[in-house]
Amino acid sequence: MALKGTLKDFGIADILQLIGQQQKTGTLHLKQRDQEVHVAFKDGAIVRAESTHRKKKELIGTMLVRAELITEQQLASALETQRRTLKRLGDVLVAAGMITHERFTEMVKLQTTETLYGLFGWKSGTYEFEQGEIEFDPSAAVTLRAESVLMEGFRMVDEWPVIKKTITSYELTFERLKELPPPPLEADAFDAALDDAFAEEKREEKQGEFKSIGPNERKVMGLAVAGRDVRRLIDLSCLGEFETCKALLNLVNLGYLKVIPPTGRTHAVGGGAEAGVLGRVMGAVGRVAISMLVLAAIGLVASRINLQAFSLTSSPSSFADPAAQRLISRAQMARIHAALDVYRVERGELPEQLQALVEAGLLADNDIRYPWQEPYYYRRTRDAFVLLPPLR
């Protein structure tokens, strides 16, 4: 059976999780206004993600030129050869010695992951999974586990708001204030343990999630010469938009780079990652009032639903997702969202676990379990939280 519907009812994370868990093979078609993305799966693993309305700058050939891995002349020559021979662009570039197979594969993976992570910003649209065999070359395909894409997507959703407070636009440039210390020398485990215990001068390299020096920071620092803006650094680093911006934030936090604001028109980084204006300006009083209204409304709906009439013990063996389970799940997640808002207003912070909502008397134990009797996936983030059906 085909998995089909709207993203308001069944989110990107739910879809990827379901296909990955059930090890399906086929193509997932996603549409939002004038955007279309097609994700190919082989036995539950993602092997290709293509955008039919991909912008020129996102095409693999253009990405290679912008990263200065090949020249525009080399790309033009390769495209001409591709038109004459009908070979894939990567095969042409590798055969001509313009790029190594390994480097081209890395860039294809970057293109694929950037397309996938962009889906986490979609709030509306439609999806349809077409089950069946797909065409792909195992030697050239990028294989990504759906679970790893999910967790990386969650991390980005969590950390983007913090990054964007400092790295606000693509037009920012940077001034180098000081050079990075040399990377630590290789040492055995015992020496490393002693260094961590007694070497105070190394503390600067480990100051928390957004204040650390790693390979990404060193790579970006080497590229951050005067006049290069964020967009150019993203192209040259080949790390992706999120990892490049995070590295820049770390370097700014540690005092190695200084942000130089742009003078003209700017474009915000991380499109689709920001919360709406209402979410940013709503005060505590508004949250309490709305939370109480939502809880009351959901309570009224729940009181009219005989939950015992549905079987909650079975688990899906295929894409069949009973309407009863979807109905209950949507009501449960709405109740949990509202209860979390109330808890945050009352306690000043979100709970570490959903069980705290039960202990506070805001929900019953059954309210925090998916209709298949498994607990919902919940993780408190820096400014919000992630709530999803269980990651099984």
Q: pLDDT tens digit string along 331-340?
A: 788 888 888 8
Q: Give the integer Cα–Cα distance in Å for 98 and 81.
A: 13
Q: Which residue has the higher pLDDT, 203 or 80?
A: 80
Quote the pLDDT of residue 28: 93
Asked if 273 and 121 touch (Cβ cutoff 8 Å), the reply is yes
- Condensed to tens digits (0 to 9), the pLDDT of residues 348-382 reads 888 988 899 888 888 888 888 876 577 888 888 77
86 Cα distance to chain centroid: 34
* Closest to 160 (Cα-Cα) out of 237, 12, 276, 270: 270
- Average pLDDT value over all residues in the chain: 79
3-state secondary structure of 5: strand
Beta strands 126-131 and 45-51, pairing class: unpaired
Q: Give the integer Cα–Cα distance in Å for 115 and 207.
A: 31
Beta strands 3-6 and 126-131, pairing class: antiparallel
* Closest to 116 (Cα-Cα) out of 39, 62, 58: 39
Asked if 191 and 269 touch (Cβ cutoff 8 Å), the reply is no
Token pair for 226: 């005067």
Token pair for 391: 């990651």
Beta strands 173-176 and 257-260, pairing class: antiparallel
Q: Give the integer Cα–Cα distance in Å for 180 and 218.
A: 8
Q: Which residue has the higher pLDDT, 245 or 290?
A: 245
Quote the pLDDT of residue 326: 67
- Condensed to tens digits (0 to 9), the pLDDT of residues 12-30 reads 888 888 888 888 999 999 9
Quote the pLDDT of residue 157: 83
Phi and psi of 113, rounded to 5°?
-65, -40
With a cut of 90, say whether residue 170 has pLDDT above it: yes
Q: Give the integer Cα–Cα distance in Å for 301 and 335.
A: 11
Quote the pLDDT of residue 340: 86
For 178, left (φ over 0), alpha (ψ -120 to 50), or beta?
beta
- Condensed to tens digits (0 to 9), the pLDDT of residues 123-160 reads 889 999 999 998 877 766 678 888 888 888 888 888 89
With a cut of 50, say whether residue 304 has pLDDT above it: no
Angle between helices 241-253 and 230-237 (to 10 degrees): 120
Quote the pLDDT of residue 54: 61
Q: Give the integer Cα–Cα distance in Å for 130 and 97.
A: 38
Alpha carbon separation from 163 to 248, 263, 324 (Å, rounded): 9, 21, 40
Q: Report, as an integer, the average pLDDT of 306-332.
A: 53
